[in-house]
A = this chain, B = another copy of it.
Amino acid sequence: MSDTKRPPGTFPGVTLADVARAAGVGESTASRVLRNRGSVSERSRAKVEAAAERLAYLPNRLAGNLASTGSNLVGIVIPSLANVVFPDFLSGVNQVLEANGHQSVIAVSEYSPRREEALIASLLAWRPAGLILVGLDHTEGAKARLRASGTRLVEAYDTDGVGLDRIVGFSNRNAGAMAARHLVTRGYTRIGYVGHSIHGDIRAVKRFEGFRAALAETELDVVAREIGTGTSSVEAGREGLARLLAQGTEVDACYFSNDDMALGGYFHCLSRGIEVPNQLALFGHNGLEMARHAPQPLTSIRTPRAKMGEVAARMVLGQEQGRMIDLGFELLEGGTT
């Protein structure tokens, strides 16, 4: 197309120049038409559009973005895809980005700050319009790169600490505290905790800290705890509660690091005939759909995951004012407390 003699293996590839030639206009005019930018006569517009259609022209964003220095990509680093909450978040991000003609490059850190640092560097190489990260904790190297790059940055999911640029999320500490106060108000005093491996899930740790701090307000503390070694899951919750109860300490309520874990705990109670909430109350976190529709809806805290994604995306696109937006959370009073 754009060249008659061309290496045999290479796919032709219609270029903007081809379209311009076919339409009988200059390259710039063709470019203006295809991007709806600048003023173009109806005549030219029609000719270019027809030519582009006829040649099945596919713009090359690599070239376009390079020339205009800046891409319409947004880099996103999440800790995991296995945990339902992050897809929910991504969903929100994606919706807003797509509506604004942006595209998301997604990377998964597996809760490893070192991996995150490498991924950030890798994403910055695309000269993205912005970056969205989860949490406020990053390696020093990552922070340095981010600052140096000058890329717009949004940190989501955590407002307990200082961020690098923009922040959207909620206070995990306060979420934990709300759980504690709810249990205290309901009269529970012998409270246990079942969590998943803390390895990297700093926000779960913050919740637990907030939980204990709030208990301490009424001179209480967790009487037993059981921390799994793996990631959060129904199975881990089920086994965690089993182990907690096997410790022998008397417990009248249990706080879980997560709804999956709590649902596992609930399943354990069903299996063993433990009456919920009379013998044992259960409290989760996240307000997952599946847990809300159990025979006894799980008492939990609903976190604004999709909303957070939407706001994060809008922030990264510069459509949101504040530097820090706390979206809060909501107590879901279920039947398990």
Q: Is the interface of A mostly helix, strand, loop or mixed?
A: helix
Per assembly, the copies of the chain total 2
A36 contacts chain B at the CB level, 8 A cutoff: no
Question: Is there an interface contact between B87 and A293, defined as CB atoms closer than 8 Å?
Answer: no
Chain A residues numbered 20-74 whose CB sits less than 8 Å from any CB in chain B:
56, 58-63, 65-66, 69, 71, 73
A2 contacts chain B at the CB level, 8 A cutoff: no
- Picked from B69, B126, B294, the residue with its CB within 8 Å of the CB of A61 is B126
A233 contacts chain B at the CB level, 8 A cutoff: yes
A290 contacts chain B at the CB level, 8 A cutoff: yes
Decide yes or no: A289 and B234 within 8 Å by CB, A60-B127, A108-B91, A150-B11 being known contacts.
Answer: yes
Question: Is there an interface contact between B290 and A126, defined as CB atoms closer than 8 Å?
Answer: no
Chain A residues numbered 140-156 whose CB sits less than 8 Å from any CB in chain B:
144-145, 148-150
A31 to B150, CA, bound (A): 24
Closest to A290 in B: B234
Question: Is there an interface contact between B81 and A87, defined as CB atoms closer than 8 Å?
Answer: yes
A252 to B87, CA, bound (A): 36
Question: Is there an interface contact between B125 and A60, defined as CB atoms closer than 8 Å?
Answer: yes
Closest to A148 in B: B56
Question: Is there an interface contact between B103 and A98, defined as CB atoms closer than 8 Å?
Answer: no
5 shortest A-B CB distances, which residue pairs?
A: A81-B87, A61-B125, A62-B66, A81-B91, A271-B295
